[in-house]
Amino acid sequence: MTRMSRARVARRIAAGAAYGGGGAGLAGVAVVGLLLAEMRLARRHVGNGVSPQVPKAQGLYGASYTVPGEPPLRLTMLGDSTAAGQGVRRGGQTPGALLASGLAAVAERPVQLRNVALPGACSDDLERQVALALADQDRVPDVCVIMIGANDVTHRMPPTRSVRCLSTAVRRLRTAGAEVVVGTCPDLGSVEPVQQPLRWLAKRASRQLAAAQTIGVVEQGGRTVSLGDLLGPEFAANPRELFGPDNYHPSAEGYATAAMAVLPTVCAALALWPTEDERPDLSRNEGFLPVARAAAEAASEAGTEVTAAMPTGPRGPWALLKRRRRRRVQEPEPSPSQTPAHPS
């Protein structure tokens, strides 16, 4: 699928999400019997009996930066197993811990991490997660990172519903005063046990949803970072290094790669990134584009950020497409203040 056609599909899905439609589908699957057989085969190979436990990661990061009377920054993770950090053994290897540690180093300020993500969640669980994130009105997060979408594809949730749930979540968080960064749907075509034609269909569906998610998020005042190719060529080239023991979730190195792509956008959302980096760099093919085109471009290239720019244009709202330089994130030291990742 070309980027222009992906932009058209994404625009239709986002429009359906905004106006209550539900007819736009992902990938146009035709050979249903073969597809279902491939899905059953893939599910038998994914998991390898590995426990779905998520390591403890919540707590205070960057405590050495503490200044009396200055509260820590508050970072909340929402989404599915990727946001929770399923597939690694230590809390410091989860994306939330990596982002909190990296953010603390950039801001030179402690970061309080909370994680309300749920392994296995689809976008319709975000309503519950947002309610948890905003339960204490005196402690609204400074920034929320959402990673969601893979289960929407595998559970065949209508994409308009998926995008509608995500857009509503972003709007509620932004209205409450939190900055929002969304890691869009990863490329499921990179999961090692998945065979053709499911691999091709999964790749196509993932990228379509990622592009539609981008439109919905940007229109609500959030920012997106494409995770698609992080689970594509890099994972395909190093499957043993970047996939975890279950052959499905990222390994510690895989999560570090994703956190390295998301961290600059988190810092930019909090005005902690150098201001000169906020201008488009033409040598890196950055610039202002209609939001649907920017979404399609981002879905095809890992680590690409899309954020709102001019509100109107000849083809609707415009967005800024950025390809930020990634910052390596180190695993933080264990902290005695860390608490279970999923409080009741």
For the four alpha carbons of 177, 178, 179 and 180, in that order, the dihedral sign comes to: negative
What's at 85, amino acid-wise? G
Catalytic annotation present for 283: no
> Which residue among 167, 190, 249, 300 is the active-site one?
249
Let me know if 236 is exposed, middle or buried by CB neighbors in 10 A (0-12, 13-18, 19+). middle
Q: Which residue has the tokens 């990134």?
A: 273
Q: Report helix, strand or coil for 178.
A: coil
Tokens read off for 46: 């994914």
| DSSP, res 125 | G
The tokens 């949803």 sit on which residue?
209
Supply φ then ψ for residue 39, to 5 degrees: -65, -40
Residue in 80, 81, 142, 335 annotated catalytic: 81
User: Is residue 251 annotated as part of the catalytic site, yes or no?
Assistant: no
What is residue 60's three-state secondary structure? strand
Residues in CB range of 83: below 8 A, 6 or more apart: 77, 95, 96, 115, 117, 145, 146, 147, 148, 183
The string of DSSP codes covering 289-326 is EEHHHHHHHHHTSTT-EEEE--S--BTB-EEEEE-PPP
Which of 123, 142, 246, 335 is catalytic? The answer is 246
The answer to whether 342 is a known catalytic residue is no
Contacts 24+ apart (CB under 8 A), 191-197: 191/42, 191/46, 191/231, 191/247, 191/248, 192/239, 192/243, 192/247, 193/41, 193/42, 193/45, 193/46, 193/247, 194/38, 194/42, 195/38, 195/41, 195/42, 197/31, 197/34, 197/35, 197/38
Catalytic residue set: 81, 246, 249
